[in-house]
Amino acid sequence: MCGIVGIVSEKPVSQDLYEALTVLQHRGQDAAGMVTCHGRKLQMRKANGLVRDVFQQQHMQRLGDGTVGLAHVRYPTAGSSSSAEAQPMYVNSPYGIAFAHNGNLTNSLELQADLFKEDMRHVNTGSDSEVLLNVFAHELQELGADRPDAEQIFKAVEEVHRRCSGGYAGIALIMGAGIVGFRDPLGIRPLIYGKKETATGIDYMLASESVALDALGYQRIRDVKPGEAVFISNNGEISTAICADKTRLIPCIFEYVYLARPDSIIDQVSVYKARLRMGEHLGKRIMERFPANDHDIDVVVPIPDTGRTAALPLAHQLNVKYREGFVKNRYIGRTFIMPGQSERKRSVRQKFNSIGLELKGKNVLLVDDSIVRGTTIKQIIQMARDAGARKVYLASAAPPVRYPNVYGIDMPSVNEFVANNKSTEEIGLEIGADLLVYQTLEDLIESAREGNPDIEGFETSVFDGVYITGDIDDKYLNQLSKSRNDQAKNQEDVSPSEQGIIGLHNHG
């Protein structure tokens, strides 16, 4: 997950970076950071907390007149939540490089050992973002240029792709040169860039989602291609190059299910329209259970906010009323990305309140985007019953989540999945639903692919256990499972050496 943004302009960029981060806040609520560059001076501010809390007036003044900068919002995965692991991260050699990253390296441990033994570089945190930064810095230093040009920067990115495995998108600010954004050779994690014509010239922005460009008046140019690097010099000159031998476009499908904002367009696919199609397919699956349209559903109620879009066409197909049955407290964070089970349980009741008039005495079909642990939906189902619902059915716009994600999404330990080793009927009993209907994987893929037939496939490992980088084995998954359970996440002040693989998945 995480959100990244970089801007090159003729005017100070700190305010635009701040506004872009607020638009990307849904991608990370644990920490935020920003760095700006003016001449030969870098100014940085980063800390734990929401964007509005991290950047106060004095911080924005200190970030000052820099016309080049990048920023990051982070969400917690496993291991330490120390502010030292907030991004951007920085190394002073060569040139001075700041870096913001979204994704996960699946060979972090091996890379960390290589950096220490062969590259003579020290990684000081448990973050694989720092590993990726040091790999890039080392490869750039090996070229030995006084000031790197686009060709040399692209050569360093080539070596990053050669050495690194996983799903990642990154933006690096290189002192005296500009910013470069790059995306993994499979295009798993998103990255897009655009431009804005101003009175003083053309500004450029790189960001995780198109909505950040839209909000600041930038015109979308296109998504960064798999394996591609986009370099924007301090002078506003833009260069692009494919920096990997083998590339395929296989984006993460969970972006369309849950992670991205509905008003974003990722790899030319409207997230909103993809979710509409999910609802249409889901409606067909429900109607297959009632071929004579003899269901007893009185009302379709979405779980706000991400369940709304799929619920609309579903209600239309079932020919029943669509109603808002729950009000969401917008000042409570996304429970999916909260660090511990106890905190998630407390937050659900604070986050939602039922509207009894829409639920009492009715057979209610709830619609959610996905079901992971089942913690939230189980309590919501009980809230519907407490409000007087006769029956509570549930439809999930995504298939059962049964496998961990290794490419940058904080899925829990496998034994914490509510679908682990359970049939659909058993899951329904576990969460207290009278009927549970899941989307099929085929329909989910079709919902997203329809927006861009050129997409070769989707990263769907959380549903089918297929890891497209080809380097994931049972040993890796077992280590990952130990690091991602709630007990591990609740540990405090664990050193990087003690964290092992835990720390190396602490980027966001």
Active site residues: 2
DSSP 85: G
Token output for 449: 């692919």
Q: How far is Cα 278 from Cα 408, in angstroms, rounded to an integer?
A: 23
HEC secondary structure over 364-409: EEEEECCCCCCHHHHHHHHHHHHCCCCEEEEEECCCCCCCCCCCCC
Beta strands in 163-223 (DSSP E): 166-174, 178-183, 192-198, 201-207, 219-223
Q: Burial level of 474, CB count in 10 A (0-12/13-18/19+)?
A: exposed
Closest CA to 133 of 78, 70, 79: 70
- Which DSSP string corresponds to 453-496? TT----B-HHHH---TTS---HHHHHHHHHHHSHHHHT--S--H
Backbone angles phi, psi at 153, to 5 degrees: -65, -40
Contact 87, 100 (CB under 8 A): yes
Q: How far is Cα 311 from Cα 427, in angstroms, rounded to an integer?
A: 21
DSSP 110: H
